[in-house]
Amino acid sequence: MQNLTLLDGQKFQITLQRLCRQLIENHNDFSESVLIGIQPRGIYLAKRIAEELRKILPGKTILQGDLDITFYRDDFRRRDQLVPNQTKIDFIIEGKKVIMMDDVLWTGRTIRAAMDALQAFGRPEKIELLALVDRRYSRHIPVEADYVGIEVDSIASQKVVVSWIETDGEDRITLISDTK
């Protein structure tokens, strides 16, 4: 295995801050917008973005929730015993602008499942997508992120891993290549 660090340390934090500034340009004070992290790893991104937005916009309410898509996936019947994650959305999304967040955008299937799952909570005015990593040229479904941390050109045998300080002890994006 060959590992290549794509982003870490201060550059990782600067990327999160840049994404926050882009969100502020389009959503102003977030009074009509909500953040939704897609389980399992998109929740860390959504929590960090929400935390950063609260620092930049003191006194503003930033609503952030977690969405489980386990039973909305088109492959859930093909997988061995799935363990669902928790959905935590304790606010109304009806008529709101929803910014869905995931750590890696690859085939687009996760995002399709998340849009299906989101409909159970109402009809948002608009849905946008923020991805920390966009693995271009690998889509199975025509999905594109509105906000992107970094773009990575990779092949199917490679894997992009996002490590979070909260769970992995460090913020890092790594491209892993199988050298067989």
Give per-residue pLDDT as tens, 4-51.
999 999 999 999 999 999 999 999 999 999 999 999 999 999 999 999
Backbone angles phi, psi at 21, to 5 degrees: -65, -40
Q: Which of 156, 93, 102 is nearest to 127 (CA)?
A: 93
Q: What residues does each domain of the chain span?
A: 9-72+85-154
Fold of 9-72+85-154: Rossmann fold (3.40.50)
Q: In the prediction, which pLDDT does 169 show?
A: 95
Residue 52 CA to residue 76 CA, distance in Å, equals 34
Q: Give the tens place of pLDDT for each residue, 53-93.
A: 999 999 999 999 999 998 887 665 556 666 778 899 999 99
Average of per-residue pLDDT values in the chain: 93
Q: In the prediction, which pLDDT does 75 show?
A: 66
Residue 91 CA to residue 79 CA, distance in Å, equals 32
The whole model's pTM is what?
0.93
Q: In the prediction, which pLDDT does 84 show?
A: 77
C-beta of residue 124 within 8 angstroms of C-beta of residue 95 = yes
Residue 112 CA to residue 72 CA, distance in Å, equals 9
> Within 10 A of 9 (CB to CB), how many other CB atoms are there?
11
